[in-house]
Chain A
Amino acid sequence: MSRISSFEVSRSTRASKVALVGWIVILGVLISVPFWAGRGDMRFLIEFAYYLTLAQMWNLLAGYAGLVSVGQQAFVGLGGYMLFAASVYFGIHPVIAIPIAGVLIALISIPTAFVVFRLRGAYFAIGTWVVAEVFRLLFAQISSLGGGSGMSIPAKIVKEIASGRTERDMLIYFTALVILVAGTAMVYLLMRSKYGLALTAIRDSEPASDSLGVNIFKTKLTIYVASAAVTGVVGALIFLQKLRISPDVAFSLQDWTAAVIFIVVIGGIGTIEGPIIGTLIYFGLRSLLSDYGSIYMIVLGCVAVVMMLWAPKGVWGLITQKFDLQLFPVNRRVTWK
Chain B
Amino acid sequence: MTALLEVQNLHKSYGSLKVTEDISFSINRGEALGVIGPNGAGKSTLFNLIAGGIRPDSGTVLFNGLDVTNFHLHERSIKGIGRSFQIPHPFGGMTVFENLLVGASFSAKLKGQDAEALAIDVLDRTGLLEKANRPAGELTLLERKRLELAKALSTQPALLLLDEIAGGLTEHECHELVELINSLRKEGITLIWIEHIVHALVSVVDRLLVIDFGVKLDEGEPHAVMNNPKVQEIYMGISAE
Contacts and interface: CB of A to CB of B under 8 A. Distances in A.
A213 B151 CA distance: 11
B128 to A, nearest CB: 11
Interface string B74-85: 100110001101
Contacts of B101: 194, 197, 332
A9 B106 contact: no
A194 B116 contact: no
Contacts of A215: 72, 74, 106
Interface in B72-117: 72-74, 77-78, 82-83, 85, 89-95, 97-98, 101-103, 105-109, 115-117
B132 interface: yes
A197 B78 CA distance: 17
A211 B83 contact: yes
Contact of A212 (B77, B97, B124): B77
Interface string A186-219: 0000000010011011011101111111111000
A330 B94 CA distance: 10
Contacts, number: 106
Question: Taking each of A1, A200, A211, A332, which has the highest tally of chain B beta carbons within 10 Å of its own beta carbon?
Answer: A211
Question: Taking each of B98, B101, B103, which has the highest tally of chain A beta carbons within 10 Å of its own beta carbon?
Answer: B98
A209 B155 CA distance: 11
A99 to B, nearest CB: 30
A55 B114 CA distance: 35
A209 B106 CA distance: 9
Interface in B109-133: 109, 115-117, 120-121, 124, 129, 132-133
Given A1-B124, A213-B107, A200 B77 contact: no
B188 interface: no
B51 interface: yes
A280 to B, nearest CB: 26
B38 interface: no
Which interface class (under 10, 10 to 19, 20 to 34, 35 or more) fits B?
A: 35 or more
A188 to B, nearest CB: 17
B220 interface: no
A4 interface: yes
Contacts of B65: none
A3 interface: yes
A213 B91 contact: no
Contacts of A209: 91, 102
A205 B116 contact: no
B97 A332 contact: yes
A333 B133 CA distance: 6
B117 to A, nearest CB: 8
B40 interface: no
Interface string B163-200: 00000000000000000000000000000000000000
Nearest to A203: B93
Given A207-B53, A211-B83, A216 B151 contact: no
A29 interface: no
Nearest to A210: B73
Contact of A210 (B74, B82, B97, B154): B74
Contacts of A203: 93
Given A209-B102, A211-B51, A212-B103, A204 B92 contact: yes
Nearest to A208: B89
A216 B97 CA distance: 21
Given A212-B151, A214-B74, A332 B98 contact: yes
Interface string B131-153: 01100000000000000000110
A123 interface: no
Nearest to B73: A210
Question: Taking each of A197, A213, A214, A332, which has the highest tally of chain B beta carbons within 10 Å of its own beta carbon?
Answer: A213
Contacts of B52: 211
Contacts of B89: 204-205, 207-208
Nearest to A334: B132
20 contacts: A4-B120, A7-B116, A194-B101, A197-B101, A200-B98, A201-B102, A204-B89, A204-B94, A210-B74, A211-B51, A211-B53, A212-B102, A213-B103, A213-B107, A213-B109, A213-B155, A215-B74, A215-B106, A216-B74, A332-B97
Interface of A: 1, 3-4, 7, 9, 194, 197-198, 200-201, 203-205, 207-216, 331-334
Ordered nearest first, which 8 A-B pairs have the shortest CB separation?
Answer: A213-B107, A208-B89, A213-B106, A212-B103, A204-B91, A205-B89, A210-B73, A194-B105
